[in-house]
Each structure stands twice: as structure tokens, then as C-alpha cells.
Structure 1
Amino acid sequence: MQRLRRIIYESDSDDDSENENYAVRRPRWIKERNDHFNNYDDEDFRIRFRLSKVATYNLLVKIENRLEFISERNQSVSPVNQLLATLRFYATNNTQLTIGDFSGLSVPTAHRIIHRVSAAIASLHHEYIKFPNTQQEIRQNQQEFYRLARFPRVIGAMDCTHIRISSPGGEQAELFRNRKGYFSINVQTICNANLEIIDIVARWPGSAHDSLIFNNCCRKAKFEAGEYGEGILLVDGGYAATFYSMPPLENPRTPVEHLYNESQIRTRNPVERSYGVWKRRFPALSLGLRVKLNKALVIIMATAVLHNILRQRGEAVPPDDPEVELPAPWEVLLQNGQIRYENEDSGTPRGNRARELLINNYFRNLM
């Protein structure tokens, strides 16, 4: 009986083995990694990676210790190749498969490296994104702004810009759809006269109004507490007039009011220009970040750090990569008059009074 059972079992096993499809494991393929740093001259390098070789090397020195692997086992990716893969992602917003093919990486490795390097660059924000705090720094900013159009006491120019993202999903996804109909992060920045970002708030959904973001940020609380003395922020018509924030007049009538508006607009122009330079240098911000929401916030911060590094070095925006087709940016539409801000708040009485005193006591003397 036991022998019969064994014969039947062996027969069934043979039939199963003939019909069973075994999964064949794919052989491991180590892609060839090109030496992009040395293969391109400096001009071609800047077009493809948006930084010069010198700036890339200096940045690598600062974050290399966070990118090194413990050993060279399993063909570990060198820090310079990690950095170049990430910069190429910022420059093209290509899929991680394309970035992997360009850099000789698998898709999972490209994914991990892009976010790893982004976090390393973003960690430098305390060093490169700094609001003036000392009297000397505040005075220097005021002098640089004054040279633009003779507007006094200006510490910074403030505005918001929308960074495209893919739908974050979930019940709160529609909060990120802005008034132009696409999903975005509404990013508030304050810049200096050199177009450097000296303060950034990158966490609000696209539906949030600019004034709402400012009303809930710590920078406003510091201005309210008088930490910056008589320093002024220049803003657009979407913000309220206060003793420290000066928007343009909605309906100027007298010559002195027109002079105030002209000086205000010209002095506030750097913040608009900074968005154009920032997004032109890193097209991923214009094309739309196709990553998870928390990862997108890190990338926004990382590119802001890179923007400041390059502004401090005096590097011009490199020519556009012919492989990347950029949409018309929000700032171009704004400058062409195709978009109008809605002034939700005409200002506080104290703020309107402060603006009137500035117009009557200062700009009237310039006539």
C-alpha cells in the first residue's frame, strides 16, 4: 500500500514539473558610466548641467561626505556621478529611466540618488539662504536697492511663484490646484538686489493666496516685532500696506504718486527677475515635478540653494538645452500684462498712513 502511494505521488510530481513555468532570473547588467565631467568642455557642460565645472566641483566638496558609500562593492556610484545625475534631472525633468540611461544607473538607483543628493544640497540652506540680521547687513541691502531707483530703506522684494507638480492624490489634492487650473506649490520668496533668495517658504498649496502665506510666516512676526527697524519690504498689489510692506498705489493721480509707483515697481523688479532666472536655469521647476509632494519640497529648496550659489559666483544663465522645450513662464505673462493680481486688502490704516508719509516727506522732495 505504501509503495502504491509512493508511485502515485511520484507520478503526480512528474506531471506538475512538466507544466510548471519557472521564473528565469534576469542576469545582472552593470551599465557603462561615462565620465561626463571630463568628456564635455565647460560650455557644453554648462548647457547640460546648468552649472560650470568649477561651481560643480566646489559644490561637490561641500556635500561629498554625505554621498560617499562605505565601500566600492557592487559597483557603487561615485559622488560626482550622483551629483551629475541629479543636476541633469533638474535641467531636463526627464523620467528616472532616462536619467538612469544617461548616467549608467538602474531606475531604482537613479530614484534614490536624485533624492539623496537633493537632500544633501538642501541641507546647505542655512549657509546660502540668509536674511540680513545685523545692522551692517541691513544697511548694505538698503544701499543696493537704493541704487536701482532711489527707493529708501528697502531690505527685500517679496512675491510668490507657482512651481508645477503632479497631483498629490488623496482627499486634499484639489487644494493644490491653483487659479490657473494646474497643480502647484505656491512658493514665497524674498530676494535682494542681486536676485539672491534671502528667505523662502515652500510648503503651501497652489490655491493659497500670497497674502495668506505671508500672514502665517515667521518673517512677518519679526517685522511686526520691529527686529528690522525701519526696514521695508516691497510687495505687489496682492498684499496689504503696512508700516513695513509697501505695495504700489492702485490708482495714482498726482505726479508724486506716479513717481512713487515707478520707483516702487523698478525696485521690486528683482524678485520677478529672480523667478525667471531660477526657473530658466532649472527647467524642472517650469515643466513640473513628477515626484511625491515631500520630495518636491526638497527639490525646490535644493534648486534655491543652487540658484544663490551661482548668483554669488556671478554665473550667467547658460543657453537653453535644445532637448528641453520650456513653456511660457508665469512671469512672462505677468510682464506682458496678461495677468492681473487681485488686491484683496487695501491695507491697514497705519500702513496707508506710513505710505502717505513716505510719499509726502520723501518722494515729493525728489520732484
Structure 2
Amino acid sequence: MDLDLATCLFTGLTTECLQDKHANWEECRFTTTNKQRLFAKEVITFVRCKELRVLPNPFDISDEYFKNAFRLDKWLFQDFLLVLCLRTYYRPELDNNVMPFDLRVLTMLSYLAHGHLEILKPLDAFQGYRSSMLQRCVAEVCQTIVHFLAPDYVVFPSNNDETLGIKHDFNTQYGIPHVVGVMDCFHVRLSKVAAAREQQFQCRHGNLAINVQVVCDNKYRFLNVNPRAPGSASDIYVWKHSPIYGIMKNLFVTEPAWLIADRGYKLEDILINPHRNPTTHADFRFNSLISAMLDVLDTAVIMLTSRFRCLKTILPYNHQTAANIVTACVTLHNYLLSKNSVIDEHLMSVVPKRKSLPNAKCEDIWSTGYHNREYIKKYLNARNL
């Protein structure tokens, strides 16, 4: 098996290449559709190949306890570990960490799932490791995920060709054309920051936090995450200084491309939000569709924070590591969606209703976004004829 996995690593084959493929022996030695599963079962043996000690197997617990502790079942964890090995070109002989790589990844998953590491205490595989070492594992593995997995699993379209599928899905489901994604922000709390920067990270509720901007599609998949802004930054400020702001401007040059957001944002040529003072049937209908699209984002965020409860706690890390933790959670969320892994119902929190904002004195009728909104209403009316 080591030779087979080494073939995987050195040829750069991904797990997608192994799945449901009938490859010839001469090409890559994978001849059956379930070869990926056979490889995944041997990944732990591979990452521990230089270990002289006999270490407890983390799989020597019940399937139910494993999934509750790590949010992935045993097979899915092995697949994820294989993906990490492939993407990082992991070499056991070069790994000088006293804790095996598989245990470091499980430590990280446990913290993301619960916001603490208490659930590891009864497990033999984690005995003898100091809490400080376990906390370092969380930061290190999250950083690895950000560098090697996030660019492949959290992808915002960079040209109009890449937007076609997303635009088609939104148009099919909601009847609104040219939509690239739905955007909003949420806060993740921090335990402490440098004294000189406390005011910068203090959000409107008085807590230390980072302001996380996310964009999702109609299938609860996150297209972008920007967790670098301090808590005092407004949603509009984060948006204006976000890399995707420039990307959206470039997309809009050749074809219409819009993000959907709530009324906390300003109406722009590349950003559409609800009417502030709906008066006609068309206005109310438009607002209803925008509200339905915003509900998708709300559901995606609740799925994220319900599966990875650390995002609801106060993170005991600096803001750079906290940003990596958020990105790692988003990456894992998209990875699980790609594997059709459904969140357990008992984990899913209730999606809160959005608080209605007070009506404004006037609409932004002078902006290009206003004309785009009128175009959408005419488009909706024409579709019903």
C-alpha cells in the first residue's frame, strides 16, 4: 500500500481522480472503483510509518462517539486526511512533531466542533499530551488548511465564464438574473488582543471580535470568506476594502454581475439590496425574492456555526489565528458539502428571522444600482407574461 500511496503523492493525483475511475495498471495502478476507500483506510499507517512506539488507534471508539467528537465519520476523516497528505505532499520522514499527524488533525477537528478539547480527555490516543501542545496543533493545522485547501474549496469566480453556472442557478431558483452570490457579515469573538488595538477590535456590542464577511451561492456553499477585519469595522467598510470588491467591478465591466445584500449596505452598480420604502406590488415582490435569497445565506451561516461550535465561543487565540480558524471552518463546510455530508438535525440551530430595518427617508434613486433594480423588476414582470 505504501507504494500505491506514494504513487498518489508523487504524481499529484487527487482523490477525485481515484473515485469511480477504471484506470489501467500501467497508468496509475488503480483498477477498481473502491480503491480510494482502500487507500484511505491505510492513510494512518502511512503517516505513522516512522513511529517506533505502539500508539493507540483513534478509531478504537464507537462510530457515534467519533462523529460527535470530530463532526466527520471515520471514513470521511480518512478521506480528508488523504486529501491533506496529497495537497501538502506530506512526508512522514520529515515530520519531527512528537504527535502523529492524524492525531493533530483530529485535535483540530475536535476544537472546531466544540470550541474546547474536553472531549479528547477520555480517549487513550490523546493521553500524555499537554493542553498547550493540543492548542498549538489547532493553530498549525488550521494554517495548513488555509494555505493548501482553502484555495481549492473556497473559490470566488474571477471571470464571467466562471459565473455562468452560479448565475443560471440563481435565475432558475429565484428568477433574478446576473446574481453571483449573497453577502453579509457576522462577528466571531476573541478573548484578548494587544492593549493598543483593543478599541479597534471592539464591536458595537462592546465585545472584542473580528468582523467576518462571507459570500455564498444558492446551494449553501461559501464562495468567499474575509475574516481579517477588526470588530469595529462596519460591514460597508469591510466590503469596500475586500478583494472581491475589485473582482466584482472587473466582472461588471463586460457583463452585469451583482451581489445580493441586506439594507445595511448601500445600493451600488454591483450590489443589489431591498427597497427601503416599498410601495407597489412589484416592490414588495422584489423584496420578497431578495429576502428569500438572504435566507439562504442565513441558513449557510447557521449550518457553519452549528457544525463548528467554536465560532460561537470566545476564541483564545490572536486575531490572525482566529482568522485562520474561521477560514478552516468554511473550507471544511464546503468540503463536507462536496461529499454530500448532511448536518445532523440535532446539531442544526434555528435560523433566526432577520430584524426589519426602519424605512429610509428616500431611496438611492441617483445610483446605477437603482436602475439595475428597476431592470430586475421589469425582467420579473416579463417572465410572468
TM-score by length of 2: 0.75
Aligned to 1:16: none
1:131 & 1:71 partners in 2: Cα distance? 34
Partner of 1:258: 284
1:39-95 superposed Cα distances (whole Å, 9 cap, x missing partner):
221x43222111222321122112235776547989x32221111111111111115
Q: Which residue does the alignment assign to 1:39?
A: 61
Task: Quote the residue 2:382 is aligned against.
Answer: 365
SS class of match (1:163) = strand
Name 2:201's counterpart in structure 1.
176
CA–CA distance in structure 1, aligned partners of residues 210 and 244 of structure 2: 19
2:139 to 89, 100, 115: 115
Alignment of 1:284-323 (within 5 A): 284-318=310-344
1:41-120 correspondence runs (5 A)? 41=63, 43-64=64-85, 70=93, 76-94=98-116, 99=120, 102=123, 103-104=126-127, 105-120=129-144
Letter in 2 for 1:44: Y
Q: Is the 8 A contact 1:68 1:78 kept in 2?
A: no
Inter-partner Cα distance in structure 2 for 1:237 and 1:288: 28
Q: Which amino acid aligns with 2:200?
A: L
Query: Using a 3 Å threshold, how does the CA distance of structure 1 residues 232 and 62 change in structure 2: closer, same or farther?
Result: same
2:59 is paired with a residue of what secondary structure?
Answer: helix
Contact 1:148 1:266 (C-alpha < 8 Å) held by counterparts: no
> For the residues of structure 2 that align with 1:60 and 1:219, how far apart are their CA atoms?
30
Change (3 A) 1:281 1:167: same
Asked if the contact 1:188/1:202 (under 8 Å) is kept, the reply is yes
Bigger CA radius of gyration: 1
The Cα of 1:190 is off from its aligned counterpart by: 0.8
Structure 1 segment 187-266 matched on structure 2, within 5 A: 187-225=212-250, 226=252, 229-266=255-292
Identical columns (%): 21
Q: Distance in 2 between matches of 1:355 and 1:142?
A: 16
In the TM superposition, residue 349 of structure 1 has moved relative to its aligned partner by 2.0
Indicate if the aligned counterparts of 2:190 and 2:208 stay in contact, CA closer than 8 A.
yes
SS in 2 for 1:91: helix
Superposed, which structure 2 residues align to 1:9-20 within 5 Å? none
Asked whether the equivalents of residues 156 and 192 of structure 1 are also in contact (C-alpha less than 8 Å), the reply is yes
CA distance in 1 between counterparts of 2:116 and 2:169 reads 38
Q: CA deviation at 1:340?
A: 4.4
Q: Which has the higher contact order (CA 8 A, sep 6+)?
A: 1
- How far did residue 127 of structure 1 move? 0.7
Summarize the Cα distance change of 1:256–1:73 in structure 2 as closer, same or farther, 3 Å threshold.
closer
Q: Which stretch has the larger CA shift, 261-270 or 301-310?
A: 261-270
Matched residue type, 1:221: G
Give the Å deviation of 1:320: 5.1
Unaligned stretches of 5+ residues in structure 2: 1-52
Cα contact 2:153–2:331 (8 A) shared by 1: yes
User: Post-superposition shift, 1:307?
Assistant: 0.8
Aligned residues: 324
In structure 1, runs of 5+ residues without a counterpart are 1-30
CA contact (8 A) 1:66 1:120 kept: no
Q: Does structure 2 retain, via aligned residues, the 8 Å contact 1:128–1:309?
A: yes
**Which residue pairs with 1:138 in the alignment?**
163
Counterpart of 1:268 in structure 2 is 294
Matched residue type, 2:67:
R
Going from structure 1 to structure 2, the CA distance change for 1:143 and 1:341 (only over 3 Å counts) comes to farther
Counterpart Cα distance in 2 of 1:345 and 1:309: 43
What is the CA-CA distance between 1:345 and the residue it aligns to? 10
The amino acid that maps onto 1:237 is: R
Equivalent residue for 2:152? 127
Could you tell me how far apart the structure 1 residues matched to 2:199 and 2:361 are? Answer: 22
Instruction: Name the structure 2 match of 1:166.
Output: 191
